[in-house]
Amino acid sequence: MTVRQLRTLIAVAESGSFSAAADRIFLTHAGVGQQMKALEEELGVELFDRSKRLPILTSQGRMIVDRARRVVRDYDALTRTEDDPGLAGELSLGAVRTTLTALVPRSLADMAQSCPELSIYVVPGLTSQLVEQVERGMIDLALVSRPRVLSPGLSWHVVAREKLMLLVPSGQRSTDVREILTRNPFIRFTRQAIVGGDIESWLHGQSIRVQDRVELENIEAICTMVELGLGVSIVPFNPAYMGKNDKLTYIQLDETIGCRELGLINREDSLKQTAIEAMRATADSICGLPKSG
């Protein structure tokens, strides 16, 4: 058994297929398959259920992947030198989908200029999913809404606070929030996301009953539907990195709704702290959030 085989196993588990893993670790599809077959023979277990179109990890396979991550992490810690700048190689960044149209692309562009030898790949998802992937070592860090509970061993760095605002077509004449929300179809931000739950709690607290039209997690799709007059919505907004659209109007809500706090989360024992610090500095520069102290 080699560390290389364990890295390949982790790549298959995270990528979902031998082909995707091969592209990620610069091997052929056949090479990945040969490594996994050799690993199964050495361990004496079936790592994958090959009866499906894509290889699915067996229960033993999932357990071994978790152990493989710990072994690889310990091996990297043992072999890493103090003068390693940490700004080369690969960095995996999870990101909630609302950040993919503005904040993440701008961050990646800036990082490409400042850290040209660092390759960053993005994993979209919901906050809960991404935080779990960070905890398990599947990704290096994630740009997410602040979790309800921060588990021990995780580091949280705030990069932005986005106001939750009522989004209406620019031709909307009324500015009465209650009237707008009760008389127009409501395009809901998904309640699977933390911010969607916050919006739902605020509506309930205000005793506002909306007429749900659709529930989405893509903020760009929500904006398009509002722009076309299909309804109104409540969404997070930050003018520092969100572009202005003359066909849309944002209306301030009362302070009880609060805001969405976005930040970068990573394991405190991550071996890529230098790259993580660079990503933090880049996001801070784009968002311009004043820091306390």
Between CA 58 and CA 45 the distance in angstroms is 9
Here the tokens at position 231 are 């309804």
Instruction: Count the domains in the chain.
Output: 3
Please indicate, yes or no, whether residues 144 and 280 belong to a single structural domain of this protein.
yes
Claim to verify: residue 174 and residue 102 sit in the same structural domain: no
Residue 181 maps to a domain? yes
Q: Note whether 13 and 46 are same-domain residues.
A: yes
Cα–Cα distance between 220 and 218 in angstroms, integer?
5
pLDDT score of 80: 55
∠ CA 253-256-259, rounded to 5°: 75
The gap between the terminal CA atoms of the chain, to the nearest Å, is 50
Q: What is the signed CA dihedral for 229, 231, 235, 237, rounded to 10 degrees?
A: 20
Of the three residues 54, 79, 104, the one that is the final residue of a domain is 79
Q: Which CATH number fits the domain that encloses residue 49?
A: 1.10.10.10
> Which residue range is the domain that position 134 belongs to?
89-160+261-287
Cα of 83 vs its chain's centroid, Å: 30
**Residue segments in the chain with a per-residue pLDDT below the cut of 50:** 83-85, 293
Domain boundary residue among 79, 101, 134?
79
User: 266 and 142 in one domain?
Assistant: yes
Q: Which of 138, 193, 196 is nearest to 10 (CA)?
A: 138
CB 58 within 8 A of CB 47: yes
Residue 209 in any domain: the answer is: yes
CB 261 within 8 A of CB 158: yes
Mapped onto helix, strand or coil, the DSSP state of residue 283 is helix
* pLDDT for position 55: 80
Q: Are residues 184 and 245 in the same domain?
A: yes
**pLDDT (0 to 100) of residue 282:** 95
Q: In terms of domains, do 147 and 281 share one?
A: yes
Q: Is residue 251 part of a domain?
A: yes
Residues 254 and 173 in one domain: yes
For residues 134 and 247, membership in a common domain is answered with: no
Residue length, the chain? 293
* Within-domain flag for 176: yes
264's tokens:
């970068």
Under 8 Å between Cβ of 9 and 39: yes
Q: What is the pLDDT of residue 28?
A: 85
Tell me the per-residue pLDDT of 191-240, one tens digit each, with 9 for 90 and over.
988 889 999 999 999 999 999 999 998 888 999 999 999 999 999 987 76
**131 shares its domain with 202:** no
Same domain, 12 and 73: yes
Q: Is 292 a domain residue?
A: no
**Rounded-to-integer distance, Cα 49 and Cα 106, Å:** 40
Torsion of CA 200, 222, 228, 162, to 10 degrees: 80
Q: What is the pLDDT of residues 20-48, one digit of tens each?
A: 888 777 678 888 889 999 999 999 989 99
84 within a domain of the structure (yes/no): no
At residue 290, the pLDDT reads 66
Q: Which of 79, 105, 135 is a domain's end point? A: 79
Q: For residue 118, what is the domain's CATH number? A: 3.40.190.10
Question: In this structure, are residues 236 and 260 in contact, taking their beta carbons and an 8 Å threshold?
Answer: yes
- Residue 138 inside a domain? The answer is yes
- To 5 degrees, how large is the angle CA 100–CA 104–CA 105? 90
| b/e burial code for range 68-88 (CB count within 10 A of at least 16 → b) | bbeebeeeeeeeeeeeeebbe
pLDDT at 83: 44
Residue 196 domain flag? yes
Q: Same domain for 187 and 255?
A: yes
Same domain, 118 and 232: no
Lookup result for tokens 């050495």? 42
Q: What is the pLDDT of residue 171?
A: 83
What are the start-end ranges of the H helices in 167-272? 177-183, 194-205, 219-227
Q: Amino acid letter at 64?
A: I
